[in-house]
Amino acid sequence: MADSREDIDWKLLQERAAMALQAGDAEGALLMYSDFLEHSPYFADAYYKRAVALNMLGRLDLALADYDRAIAINPAHGYALCNRGHVLEALERPEEALASYDQAGSINPDDYLVPYNRGSALRRLGRLHDALRSYDKAIELKADFAEAFVNRGNILQQMWLHEEAVASYSKAIELQPIFAAAFQGLGTSLSHLKRFADAVRAFDSVLRLNPGQNYILGVRRHAQMQICDWNDLARDLDLIVAGLKSRNAVCPPHALLALVDSPPLHRMAAEIWTERECPPDESMGAVPARPIAQKIRIGYFSADFRHHAVALLTAELFEIHDRAKFEIVAFAFGPESKDEVRARLERAFDVFLDVRANSDIEIAALARRLEIDIAVDLGGFTEHCRTGIFALRAAPIQLSYIGYLGTMGAPYMDYLLADAAIIPDEERSNYSEKIVYLPSYQANDSLMRVSARVFAREDLGLPARGFVYSCFNTNYKIMPLTFAIWMRILKRVESSCMYIYSDSEIVDQNLRNEAQKCGVESDRIIFGRRMAREDYLARFRAMDLFLDTFPYNAGTTASDALWVGLPVVTYAGRSFASRVATSLLTAIDLPELITSSTLHYEELAVQLAQQPERLAQIRSKLQRNLLSTPLFDTRSFAQNLENAYIAMMRRLEAELAPDDIRVNP
């Protein structure tokens, strides 16, 4: 009778443990299952449930051991195999996780969670097409599986299939109308499709459902800035600044560059992003030491090896690198492209690798196998970035250049390329990397072709007479303060107009409305659409003066204007992004176009319109300086950059830590 009573007690203990687990009392469940297993050490389900409790408590290694014990006792325990895969994923062992899911699927082929979890492991492995098929299988087994539609959308988004991603997120929302993650994914894909007004509405839903969602405040604000929707901008800026100062993830670093001119805040946003999204990953260990090769191998990593500003600036650089001293390898992971720029780049590199289907760890491992000495990140925190490659340490030296205009705040980025005009001494402490001070920062293509087409003013919708100010920067760079200054300038310069790039009727209407609020007739704001690059360059000839944006300056666009002979007026702020045009004008020896305050900026813009002889002198100087100053001397730029690479390698060979480098022309 005693044995029977004891059996009933153990059964009750097991039931209580199950109840505790269901109620979320992981500690209580853990203690009770441990007591039970002392009495019944061969009970597979008890090991399984104790593993669940350990998993809830974040004790992953112990949870894995218990799942293994459950499976050893009952190899057909599909739930243990599936959960084991979860733990292996959390332990950054996706290959083993996938094998565990596959075993679970062979035991429970109708369990929709198995292909759902399998999709996650496949995504980690960079096998996006296989992951998509797994999510489709999960949906086939459970047609109302909203979470699977969201993850399916995430995969499609990663594959740049944004129309299909929108459909997948929309289905998830149809099934679960209060699903914040679905709205966030929807907003992101709509932004990629340049449907910014729709994206803002999706992000509004995220804020309503989950106002503490990471980065949503900054993401939503960035979408609004894309269409020059400045409603509640001051409120949002206050919230973003306060959030960053509290070390909260409220705004992606790249979006912040265009909102505030504050190098300390830019560094803070970058560090928060790095800590949360791409911290150092030691899973591959240190880069093994190796003998110094005859040539330095440079790996350029980018999502933008196509018709994109980064590629347009750097194409000639890649073509003229000194092949006696350097071997250059492209790691391309952007959207598929067959344009002329991509074809030119494929010819320019010694090796051009399309690695978009590979995972971060596969790309980093490939870079190590190829013995890349210096890995250059041309994207930073911009669209389609793959910062995880650098977190894994793809090369012994890693640096950031041209794509992201600021510090990355990442301990694995050794250097940042800049010049003394972009990072003055008083701002040096706001950059985590060691700075390579080049004589001139921005690479340019001295082979740029400009169409012979001569645009009449009426061809562009411009008035027949009057001074034409212009700004062809992307719309999110236009801040209300900048626009208000432009409107004051127009009011002071009779018969003048402002010619602005726009590819959206919403932008047109919003800026016309803002002009009217400033007391300027809306027909004095004229919009230019996208056109073929050679014609786009020729169009600058119809303009009189380019007015830069602040705090995010023109970069490629300023170079384009200068190349065609159009002077650029800029306002130099504190941050990297707000001093790029200052760097360009310094490099072409036109310091008279750099202003140090908004008042100075406004006055200079007015004076140059009212003093045509002075503007003509500046135009003549610009023409003389085009090929006699550093800005478009691509060969000298390449030599200076190569000298910087050699200096980095010498420090590495001498076993010295990275340090600031100043390259003399």
Burial class of residue 440, CB neighbours in 10 A (0-12, 13-18, 19+): buried
- pLDDT for res 460: 96
Sheet harboring 374-377: ordered strands across? 351-354, 326-332, 296-302, 374-377, 397-400, 415-418, 434-437, 661-662
pTM for this entry: 0.92
Averaged pLDDT, 247-274: 98
Within a 10 A sphere around the Cβ of 220, how many other Cβ atoms? 25
Averaged pLDDT, 118-123: 94
Instruction: Assess whether the previous peptide bond of 551 is cis (omega < 30° from 0).
Output: yes
pLDDT tier for residue 293 given thresholds of 50, 70 and 90: confident
d(CA 373, CA 375): 7
Pull the structure tokens for residue 14.
């097991």
pLDDT tens digit sequence for 42-71: 888 888 888 888 888 989 999 999 899 989
DSSP-derived letter for residue 370 is T
Half-sphere exposure of 327 (CA within 13 A, CB side): 12
d(CA 321, CA 324): 9
Distance set, CA 181 to CA 149, 152, 185, 213 (Å): 11, 12, 6, 9
d(CA 601, CA 330): 40
SS3 content of the chain, % helix, strand, coil (to 5): 55, 10, 35
Q: Evaluate if residue 148 carries a pLDDT over 60.
A: yes
pLDDT tens digit sequence for 618-665: 999 999 999 999 999 999 999 999 999 999 999 999 999 999 999 998
pLDDT tier for residue 344 given thresholds of 50, 70 and 90: very high
- pLDDT for res 167: 98
Helix/strand/coil for 594: strand
- pLDDT for res 480: 98
d(CA 103, CA 100): 5
d(CA 355, CA 365): 12
- pLDDT for res 13: 67
**Over pLDDT 90: what percentage of the chain?**
86
pLDDT tens digit sequence for 560-614: 999 999 999 999 999 999 999 999 999 999 999 999 999 999 999 999 999 999 9
pLDDT tier for residue 10 given thresholds of 50, 70 and 90: low
Q: Which domains does the chain have, with CATH numbers?
A: 1-143 (1.25.40.10), 296-437 (3.40.50.11380), 457-630 (3.40.50.2000)
Q: Evaluate if residue 108 carries a pLDDT over 90.
A: yes
d(CA 154, CA 391): 22
- pLDDT for res 55: 85
Task: Give the bridge partners for 661, in sequence order.
Answer: 436
pLDDT tens digit sequence for 476-512: 999 999 999 999 999 999 999 999 999 899 999 999 9
pLDDT tier for residue 2 given thresholds of 50, 70 and 90: very low
Average pLDDT, the chain: 94
pLDDT tens digit sequence for 408-424: 999 999 999 999 999 99
Cα 178 off chain centre by? 28
Averaged pLDDT, 370-396: 96
Within a 10 A sphere around the Cβ of 420, how many other Cβ atoms? 15
Q: Evaluate if residue 202 carries a pLDDT over 50.
A: yes
Exposure letters 344-371 (e unless 16+ CB within 10 A, then b): bbeebbeebbebbebbbbebbbbbbebb
The amino acid at residue 651 is R
Averaged pLDDT, 21-36: 82
Element (H, E) at 436: strand 434-437
Contact 578, 553 (CB under 8 A): yes
